[in-house]
Copies of this chain bind each other. A is one copy, B any other.
């Protein structure tokens, strides 16, 4: 069943303290080749019928993202392309 995936990330000019905290923790794990980490949200929307990108965009704009500080993208993915797949 295809789903719509909404990716919400802070705008590039907005500081991301959560991502910074992860980046700062990496040297303690022995990882020294990471320049930056940004943390956002991934929302998977399953429709009862056909996936509806325009509808998903409306939901993202009204309910999922804060357009003042966040950007979002919407796209349709096949079910086996989701993070549900064991990795």
Contact with B along A6-20 (1 / 0, CB 8 A): 011101100000010
Structural contact, B73 and A9, CB atoms closer than 8 A: no
A6 vs chain B, min Cβ distance (A): 9
Instruction: Output the least CB separation between A32 and chain B (Å).
Output: 8
Q: Is the interface of A mostly helix, strand, loop or mixed?
A: mixed
Of B9, B43, B58, which contacts A84 at CB under 8 A?
B9
Q: Mark A25-57, 1 if CB is under 8 A from B, else 0.
A: 110010101111111111111111100100101
A binding-site residues for B, Cβ under 8 Å: 7-9, 11-12, 19, 22, 25-26, 29, 31, 33-49, 52, 55, 57-59, 62-64, 71-74, 82-87
